[in-house]
Chain A
Amino acid sequence: MADQKASTSIEAVESGLAAQGYIASRQIATAVYLSQQIEKPILVEGPAGVGKTELAKAIAAWRGMKMIRLQCYEGLDEAKALYEWKYAKQLLYTQILKDKLGEVLGGAQTLHAALDQLHDFGDVFFSKEFVEPRPLLQALEQPGGCVLLIDEIDKSDAEFESLLLEILSDFQVTIPELGTVSAITPPTVILTSNSERDLGDALKRRCLHLHIGFPEQRLEERIVESRVPGISQTLRRQMVGFIHEIRSLDLKKLPSVSETIDWARVLVLLQATELDTDIVKDTLNVLLKYEADIEAASPQVTTFIAKAARSNVFG
């Protein structure tokens, strides 16, 4: 019975994401479903442009939640990611309240008594009002839950990874002056990485590990269909077939899904009805981002178009 529910729910995830224009493979849908069920973050790895960031956006749109995005970079620290004290505000308030303080402490005869009275007011200046919440703290404070996207975690320093551990496993952060802040509703956390460096085992252990590679031909056709509705079926087949041929080459940067979509848009704009050598050569710079790659690919264009057309007939 539970099994029945599980597979239908996975399909529900798939169709929910599809409604937002994100065509998810079975693995992706399973990962999203599981992360909801056992409340674990998803670590998404894969080449650039296969829709890692897009996945988080689609989940947020599907569930009608706010998306909070934290873009990682070298030198990112807790003051920018977690919280910061509003120093200027604290300073300003002490200046404004100077007179008031005098009144409050007026009754005290000795320095000791004045101190005691001050203690009674507690840590006024280190309270919630003076905390500037940064993305991570914001995510915990959303009453309805949210999707927290920690983008390109591999770009950040190793120290920052350790900072994330508390949030990822318990959905809480500890601020020394205030105590522990727990999430009102545990956010859905998506981390993305381009595998620029190896992430620590501690971080990986806390996440579901999802690898998104280049999609299969059928899936990619569906993605193009959903993203660029104006394109004809024949052209779609041909161009996706062509891109799959290109990916078999030994290139510096292989074209990924985002390039496929861009190219499809370009072809629609140019009002192409099917691929031919001229139009491909003219628009190859949309697909390939290095001069050397374009040079390597252009002699093959004609053969690839022929191959794509042939597979079109049989497929």
Chain B
Amino acid sequence: MRENLHRFFRAARGVGVHVSPAESIDAMRAVAKVGISDRAVLRDALLLTLAKSQDEKLALGDCFDLFFSQPEPRQDQPEAANDDAAQGEDQPPSSGSAREAGEAQPPEGLGPLAQMLLSQDRNAIAAAIASASGAASLSDIRYSTQRGIFSSRILDAMGLQRLRDDLDELTATNPALAERLRAALDALREAVRDTVSQGLALYAREEAENLRNEILRNAPLARIERRQVAEMHALIRQIARRLRERYSKPRKRQRRGHLDVRRTLRRNAAWGGVPFLTAWKRKHRERPKIVAICDVSGSVAQVSDFFLLLIHSLHEVVDDVRSFAFSSHLIEVSEILEKNSPEEAMAEIMSKVGFGSSDYGSSLVDFEKDFMSTLTPRTTVIMLGDARSNNLDPRADILRRISERSKRLVWLNPEGRLAWGFGDSEMPRYATFCTVVRQCATAQQLERAVSDIVATYQ
């Protein structure tokens, strides 16, 4: 059972539940207390000790069901069955001959696997598959392309070679029996294939997910395929969670520096003003205030989408976010984003301002007219766009005023540095007034950009 639990812990890590050594020890102790006869109680006990959030509980529950639906026999006899099978694998000829001599069953001279298949002993077959997959270290499977090799390894470990010889022999001597054996072998192959698929689902998920995420993080956001959008949303949520964890921690309290006389006196009034407890002046640190102005025209729309999603999921870190979207004219979209799910919000924004050819000049005019008062000396303004204004007046003077009124002005451009200034790109003219200009085309760059913006307030 302990072996099984260890494999279960590995599978649990595969579905994204963090199982530390300490937790696995707790789980072992819990299982020792509740026993393994009642599956529901065992499930509850493992869920209690291993999973630490509701999401993890769901994932682990599914993993438990998948794991223990493996064709494994009752718990009281697997040791014996395994040993038997293991011996059979180690020296098929001798064990086969021993059996032949001892029992002299009708199908004479057959290997242990052939006998097992012909006797239709399901428990023994299942046990043999389980122990053979242990011998073939099925838990190391990582990619779906490895399915074939693991299947053949498991079959080899079960003594396929010997079975083939038996088959050849039988075809000559006893064709009917050979036919039965061949059918049984096909069924066995199928069972092994199922076991391997299940192993893949259990153990390989983590690796595959890591790989996929890595690719996704570095894929250009603007050219992401439709089917990947949902995955991308999940990834963005993950990034948001990481940023929240990093920056939402309460900042360290000041324990030294200037004495705060007023607070010290007030605090010690009870002791006649004798200062038992001291109070120190604290530096006031501010939380970020962000105004995001996003181009939602054409190719930039997708990037803006993910950016807005990220910024709006940083509630704990960022005090105040106001978002504006524009292509030919500009509107405020904060409320739309707060109220709706990401997909709906984006659809609504696109129907209101999307699908126009971008006009940075008139959008900036819109902003100055209605929303200039949102900027304070604490605000970071983030412009997101490719600065391609279709050769219309860029109105860089308004950007200068925005820059003067705010703490920082950051421009995120999905295009590479090489393209800036070519064609109708007005990036160099705008760049003069920006505190920072950086490329922002992939999820990774997006994370770094936002992380830097938030970090300046820490």
Contact = CB atoms under 8 A, between A and B. Distances in A.
Contacts of A37: 29-30, 33
B49 interface: yes
A159 B251 CA distance: 11
Interface in A61-120: 87-88, 91
Contact of B48 (A197, A201, A208): A208
A30 B48 contact: yes
A6 B35 contact: yes
A88 B35 CA distance: 55
A209 interface: yes
Contact of B52 (A3, A26, A158, A204): A204
A92 to B, nearest CB: 10
B38 A3 contact: yes
A6 B33 contact: yes
Interface residues of A, number: 31
A27 B316 CA distance: 32
Given A26-B40, A205-B52, A3 B35 contact: yes
Contacts of B33: 2, 6, 33-34, 37-38
A30 B271 contact: no
Nearest to A74: B250
A157 interface: yes
Interface in A6-31: 6-7, 10, 26-27, 30-31
Contacts of A134: none
Contacts of A210: 48
A205 B23 contact: yes
A198 B52 CA distance: 11
B215 interface: no
B54 interface: yes
Nearest to B37: A3
A10 B44 CA distance: 12
Interface in B27-61: 29-30, 32-38, 40-41, 44-45, 47-49, 51-54, 57
B26 A38 contact: yes
Contacts of A87: 271, 276
Contacts of B316: 197
A40 interface: yes
Given A6-B33, A34-B30, A87-B271, A205 B48 contact: no
A198 B56 CA distance: 14
A45 interface: yes
A53 to B, nearest CB: 19
A201 B49 CA distance: 13
A303 to B, nearest CB: 26
A211 interface: yes
Contact of B54 (A33, A34, A211): A211
Nearest to B52: A204
B48 A209 contact: yes
A88 B270 contact: yes
A87 B277 CA distance: 10
Contact of A34 (B20, B34, B38): B34
Nearest to B53: A209
A205 B20 contact: yes
Given A157-B250, A211-B54, A30 B22 contact: no
Given A6-B34, A87-B271, A26 B44 contact: yes
B57 A211 contact: yes
Contact of A208 (B32, B36, B49): B49
Interface string B15-27: 0001010110010
Nearest to A79: B277
B369 interface: no
Contacts of A40: 26
Contacts of A209: 48-49, 51-53, 57
A30 B37 contact: no
B231 interface: no
B140 interface: no
B405 to A, nearest CB: 33
Contact of B250 (A27, A158, A204, A211): A158
Interface in A182-221: 197-198, 201, 204-205, 208-211
A294 B100 CA distance: 80
Contacts of B57: 209, 211
A27 B61 CA distance: 13
Contacts of B32: 2
A6 B245 contact: no
Given A7-B41, A30-B45, A34-B33, A201 B271 contact: no
Contacts of B270: 88
Contacts of A197: 248, 316
Interface in A37-54: 37-38, 40, 45
Contacts of B40: 26
A3 B36 contact: yes
B144 to A, nearest CB: 32
A79 to B, nearest CB: 10
A26 B39 CA distance: 13
Contacts of A3: 34-38
A201 B53 CA distance: 11
B339 to A, nearest CB: 12
B74 interface: no
B254 to A, nearest CB: 14
B250 A30 contact: no
B44 A27 contact: yes
A75 to B, nearest CB: 11
B48 A31 contact: yes
Contacts of A159: 250
A7 B51 CA distance: 22
B135 to A, nearest CB: 30
Contacts of B51: 209
A10 B41 contact: yes
B249 interface: yes
Contacts of A204: 52-53
Sorted nearest first, the 9 A-B pairs with minimum C-beta distance are A3-B35, A3-B37, A204-B52, A30-B44, A37-B33, A6-B34, A208-B48, A38-B29, A209-B52
Given A88-B271, A210-B48, 5 more contacts: A3-B35, A27-B44, A37-B30, A91-B271, A208-B49
11 contacts: A3-B34, A3-B36, A3-B38, A6-B35, A7-B37, A10-B34, A10-B41, A26-B44, A34-B33, A201-B18, A210-B48
